[in-house]
Structure 1
Amino acid sequence: MPNTLVIIPTYNEIDNLEPIVSRVRANVADAEVLIVDDSSPDGTGALADSLAARDSNVHVLHRSTKNGLGAAYLEGFAWALSRGYYTLVQMDADGSHLPEQLPSLLAASENAEVVMGSRWVTGGHIVNWPWHRRMLSQGGSTYSRFLLHLHQRDVTGGYRVYSANALERMRLSSVESLGYCFQIDMLLHAVRAGLTVVEVPITFVERTHGASKMSGRIVLEAMGRVTMWGLTGQGVARTSGSPAVAGSRRG
């Protein structure tokens, strides 16, 4: 049975894709890779096909439209679950998620159903972010944690590991966010399902090639959705428990 699948969504990542796939394959040799390309006009999809032709552990899923990171991941999850993969990894294509740290996330997944790479626990770091970007990200996590009663510290981070069983229990058909808010929505589903969620400190590195897809409008839209969830009681029940952090003291 196939075991680990690293899902990498792409849109105009032609300069970043080959290096990131190569680093994943070098650091977790038995992991397979699924590139989910949203019809990138820069040729990323054709490059993905070329990588798959050279390496049988690389697969490509072409999507006809670009309708959000969450939609790409959900389609990737469905592809993986239908083929029996046991461990599914979310990873950005731009190099911000270091493949060199994937072994530590996978090690933590042996005792947890959801593992979150975290920038905001002790041992987590950010490289090459301006102060306003740091404040926006940390502020968004803090705001979401408060309104939704989440214990986890980095609720918007996208470097994650899910077991297949976890995804099946999370009722993915009810995940309604497709953009920046997708990560928060997925965490809410995981906590509501009673899954074991741990955070592992990571170093997050700002991209050096290509343009970021992030914008103020996207963040404001996500915070609006979080506000609606909080005001309508769609967060999680308050508990006295503490978040689990693997490889670090609580931040």
Structure 2
Amino acid sequence: MEYNGWADEGFGAVADAFGRNFTDHGDLGAAVTVFVDGRKVVDLWGGTADERTGRPWERDTAVPVMSAAKGIVAVCAHLLAQEGRLDLDAPIADHWPEFARHGKERITPRMVLAHRAGLPVIDRPLTFEEVLAWTPVVRALEEQAPYWEPGTAHEYHGHTMGWLIGELIRRITGLTPGAYFRAAVADELKLTTWIGVPEAELPGLARLAEAPGTYPDLPADSLFARILTMDGALAFPGLDDPRGRNSPALLAAEIPATGAVSSARGLATLYAAAATGVDGA
């Protein structure tokens, strides 16, 4: 299997492992970028971006990376904290008064970022269209009561983390989290990374393909299934379902905890910039 790119001396094993993903593990297309202390040391890509057409995976091909959105939203929250515009230990309701209902008055951004806010799912049924529309989810969170005393226990806030922090970002900046990320971070770093993909970029995205046998068989009413699907509003796995992860409508919407789309270089550059700064990204 031929692939493109390079790896610095000392990182040849990364290139070897990347190649084996194709020859030994059936990967269709992929990319990997690695920074060490702000310096790029690996930049590899290869394979197919769309198995239906054979379109090749290019250096900056972007692909749905789903929950990587949580890191993007967290970076935005910490940037606002760094600027003194957000106190991670003050009540969310300081910026979002309507949130202070049903025992949520003392929930802080830090609790949400740590998945300890007691809001892993929303009990009110939502449609796919409502999830894409933003405001219905925000209103449902305002009416939701915590499942436990906030800050005392942990459960994966698979989708809710994004809307909780995302609405805070919107209240503070006047921008949706995807728009704020582009304005504050991504445009300056020239990242091929979005929460909410512009229409013009949709045709160039890699298309996800099902990998048989990789999904757990979850009862629809189990807590984890409810978390993954927002109580059935989203398809899982169902990549080619109209509500699935290849849906243009879903890719274009701002789903702030699971809707990230990025190239490997984009995501690696983001984290390198946040951790150490980057040299020649």
Q: TM-score, normalised by structure 1?
A: 0.28
> Which of these two proteins has the greater Rg computed from alpha carbons?
2
Q: TM-score, normalised by structure 2?
A: 0.26
